[in-house]
Amino acid sequence: MFYPFPKEERYYHYSRYLRERFNSRVYKISLDAGFTCPTRDGTIGYGGCLYCNNDSFTPQRRAPISPISKQIVEGIETLKKYRKAKKFLAYFQAFTNTYAPVYELEKLYKQALSFPDIVGLCIGTRPDCVNDEIFELLQDLNKKSYVSIEFGIESVYDKTLKWIKRGHDFSKTKWAVKKAKEYRLHTSVHLIFGFPTESAEEILDSAEIINNLGINAIKIHHLHIVKNTQLAKLYKEKPFYVFGESEWIALVCDFLERLYPNISIQRLCGEAKQGTLIAPLWKLNKSEVIQRIRREFEKRGSYQGYKGTEIYKGNNAL
């Protein structure tokens, strides 16, 4: 089996992938372009998904949104000052960043790419908010710049997607990922583990389903119950089990052992804005959790893909 990372690193860091692609460290600049979402504006529903309070992850959303150009300039200046960074990705992160007419998206994306130090785009969206016209735009931009599309799929199980009021089923995810790959786009998915609708065994079984999608990268996030969400209300009325740090660390290692080694890892746990989190309340911070995951792998003598068989041949390295 081919491993695109030294096994002593234990898993395929997305930062390694970017460094090898661009021959340099590359940093993301998180952007808020003022998009909304079909589960918030009435197209599918109101109030967002069950767990959603985007202010807990993008805390400045209630303030007036700065122009994209200003956000990029400020982001570049900060990262150059504190990280000595030279290359950047414009990361359209907040809400659903393909949820607009294609001519508006083209203007927005090209504006971001007009900065010489911006080497590409990362576009966070939903699998039900893309179409061929959008894919054609991204394919055209991808001819000169790196373009990665990140689908928030949250789960591979329809029972969970229904429970969290996601507004689409897993067949829509499979369609969107397949189309993105047909258009030769670097494709990532975002999963949340910890919903009470899924057992630990089902979470681990989802690794094989993800392997067969043929994606390039993945983000894994533990479920946050944050204030001012529908989920917080449900949790208060009927508390359900949430992962502790040690259980999460073991679960992540178990999952990654089953995940193909050519899928780069963009995230292994998340963080919420201080003061918004109800549960789980961990003592370890994000960096400490990552360190513990690495130590657990070392203890086991294992790594990403350790329990896999053969790399999925259709998963092109983009």
**What CATH number is associated with residue 278?**
3.20.20.70
Angle at alpha carbon of residue 75, lines to 74 and 76, rounded to 5°: 95
Is residue 305 situated within a structural domain?
no
Flag whether 318 is in a domain: no
CB atoms under 10 Å from CB of 183, counted, come to 20
With respect to residue 82, please indicate whether it lies within any of the assigned structural domains. Answer: yes
Residues 6+ apart with CB under 8 A from 182: 135
The pLDDT of residue 314? 43
- One digit per residue, the tens of pLDDT, for the chain of length 318 reads 679 999 999 999 999 999 999 999 999 999 999 999 999 999 999 888 999 875 544 444 456 789 999 999 999 999 999 999 999 999 999 999 999 999 999 999 999 999 999 999 999 999 999 999 999 999 999 999 999 999 999 999 999 999 999 999 999 999 999 999 999 999 999 999 999 999 999 999 999 999 999 999 999 999 999 999 999 999 999 999 999 999 999 999 999 999 999 999 999 998 888 899 999 999 999 999 999 999 999 999 999 999 975 544 444 557
The answer to whether position 260 is within a domain reads yes
Kindly state whether residue 247 falls inside one of the protein's structural domains: yes
Q: Which domain holds residue 100?
A: 7-300
Which string of b and e fits 206-226 if b means at least 16 CB within 10 Å? bbeebbebbbbbbbbbbbbbb
Determine, yes or no, domain membership for 70. Answer: yes
Q: Residue 189, SS3?
A: strand
Overall domain count for the chain: 1
Kindly state whether residue 244 falls inside one of the protein's structural domains. Answer: yes
| pLDDT given for residue 309 in this prediction | 57
Q: What is the pTM of this model?
A: 0.93
Query: CA angle at residue 199 from 239 to 193, to 5 degrees?
Result: 75
Question: What is the signed CA dihedral for 15, 21, 27, 33, rounded to 10 degrees?
Answer: -120
Torsion angle, alpha carbons of 152, 156, 161, 163, to 10: -130
Q: Say what the pLDDT of residue 47 is.
A: 87
Query: Is the peptide bond between 280 and the residue preceding it cis, with omega within 30 degrees of 0?
Result: yes
CA 83 to chain centre: 23
Q: Is residue 275 part of a domain?
A: yes
